């Protein structure tokens, strides 16, 4: 069996919401600019909830809805770029919280494409005989947001979502990619800890700005925008290759929620009506790898995504990564 069934979904959005007007009190911006340039009105932000905690809440909801015993989970794969520890992974903490001790658990860092990367890896475990796989995407983007940079701080939000998966015979096709030559367009630098033996440290150029602040996202918005509008249709096209399907056969697209204009431009270039793209960016902003599964959980609970429909997840982001997966829900 090489397909996957999404048995259940779950999500967690921290209760604290931050409006565009709230942000206008931090930086020189306004509600009208943010809404018309990005489609975002409000977003959720943690009020102390760690990334693992949000992920564990989402995972518990998915497990409860699937009605399985957590001890039956054979692998836990989390996607995040905002983990709480350098080590261990959030997967380890989430595993403890949900009571699925023993199975392999690891994190995937592929930025906003992380959910699709994790789904693809989970499919490989399932096709090799694992009974159930749990994929959790959890992000605390506010922890790496530069709240003095008006061009980026208006974009991001926090949240988590999870899917409980089982192997099936139904359709699954995916495509993953990374173009590392574009890493300089979107990054958050770690602050290296100096060790006691360091003298006159060398500087090795990797394309990032040596003067860029540590620990916060730095982006060239226009370059990322340009990349995203091309990457989205290309990822869909590549994921569909060999399936006999075209974009017109997809009942619902669930894209990474980065900017409504990116989704509109991509939909237009693919000749697909915007209504077939599920969006919640107005209420959640960009939650990196969590954005696709948060939107998925919402589409399921609102009855927009129904059993039997063909769905396409498509993500793009820092790396520059892009990825898409097509499956029968």
Task: Give the interface with ligand UT7 as residue ranges (CB under 6 A).
Answer: 29, 33-34, 37-38, 112, 150-151, 154, 219, 221-222, 224-225, 228, 258-259, 286, 317
In angstroms, give the least distance from the CB of 224 to ligand UT7.
4
In angstroms, give the least distance from the CB of 111 to ligand UT7.
7
In angstroms, give the least distance from the CB of 150 to ligand UT7.
4
In angstroms, give the least distance from the CB of 262 to ligand UT7.
6
Find out whether 276 and 252 touch, Cβ atoms under 8 Å.
yes
Q: How many angstroms separate the CA atoms of 147 and 26, rounded?
A: 7
Strand partners, 18: 43
Which lies closer to ligand UT7 via its Cβ, residue 57 or residue 318?
318
DSSP string, 37-62: HH--SEEE--SS--HHHHHHHHHHHH
- For the question of residue 44 being annotated catalytic, the response is no
User: 43 to each of 40, 168, 265, 275, how far by Cα in Å?
Assistant: 8, 36, 23, 22
Q: How many angstroms separate the CA atoms of 15 and 233, rounded?
A: 34
Find out whether 290 and 160 touch, Cβ atoms under 8 Å.
yes
Distance from the first to the final alpha carbon of the chain:
16
Neighbours of 298 (CB within 10 A): 21
Strand partners, 311: 252, 327
Which lies closer to ligand UT7 via its Cβ, residue 26 or residue 128?
26
Of 44, 46, 286, 312, which residue is the catalytic one? 286
Of 256, 259, 280, 312, which residue is the catalytic one? 256
Task: Report cis status (omega within 30 of 0) of the bond before 88.
Answer: yes
Which residue of this chain has its Cβ atom nearest to ligand UT7 in the complex? 221
- For the question of residue 203 being annotated catalytic, the response is no
Which lies closer to ligand UT7 via its Cβ, residue 130 or residue 286?
286
Which lies closer to ligand UT7 via its Cβ, residue 258 or residue 270?
258
Which lies closer to ligand UT7 via its Cβ, residue 28 or residue 205?
28
Q: Residue 257: which region, alpha, beta or left (left: phi > 0; alpha: psi -120 to 50)?
A: beta
Which lies closer to ligand UT7 via its Cβ, residue 14 or residue 317?
317
Strand partners, 285: none
Q: How many angstroms separate the CA atoms of 297 and 290, rounded?
A: 11
Known catalytic residues?
112, 256, 286
């Amino acid at each position: 069996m090489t397909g996957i069934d999404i048995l259940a979904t779950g999500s967690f959005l921290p209760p604290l919401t931050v409006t565009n007007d709230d942000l206008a009190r931090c930086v020189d911006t306004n509600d009208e600019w943010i809404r018309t340039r990005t489609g975002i009105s409000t977003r959720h932000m943690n009020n102390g909830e760690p990334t693992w905690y949000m992920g564990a809440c989402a995972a518990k909801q998915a497990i409860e809805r699937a009605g399985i015993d957590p001890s039956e989970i054979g692998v836990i794969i989390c996607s995040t770029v905002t983990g709480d520890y350098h080590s261990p992974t959030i997967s380890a903490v989430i595993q403890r919280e949900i009571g699925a001790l023993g199975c392999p658990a690891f994190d995937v860092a592929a930025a906003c494409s992380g959910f699709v990367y994790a789904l693809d890896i989970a499919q490989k475990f399932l096709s090799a005989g694992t009974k159930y796989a749990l994929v959790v995407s959890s992000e605390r983007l506010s922890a790496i947001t530069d709240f003095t940079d008006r061009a980026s701080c208006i974009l991001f939000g926090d949240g988590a979502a999870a899917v409980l998966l089982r192997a099936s015979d139904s359709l699954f096709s995916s495509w993953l990619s990374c173009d590392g030559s574009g890493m300089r367009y979107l990054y958050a630098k770690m602050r290296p800890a100096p060790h006691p033996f360091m003298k006159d440290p060398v500087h090795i150029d990797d394309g990032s700005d040596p003067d860029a602040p540590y620990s916060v996202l730095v982006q060239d918005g226009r370059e990322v925008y340009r990349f995203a509008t091309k990457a989205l249709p290309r990822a869909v096209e590549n994921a569909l290759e060999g399936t006999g399907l075209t974009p017109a056969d997809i009942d619902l697209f669930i894209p990474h929620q980065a900017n409504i204009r990116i989704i509109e431009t991509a939909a237009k270039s693919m000749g697909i009506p915007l209504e077939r793209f599920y969006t919640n960016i107005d209420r959640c902003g960009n939650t990196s790898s969590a954005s696709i599964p948060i939107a998925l959980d919402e589409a399921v609970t609102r009855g927009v995504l129904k059993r039997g429909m063909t769905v396409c997840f498509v993500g793009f982001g820092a790396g520059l990564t892009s990825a898409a997966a097509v499956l029968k829900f």
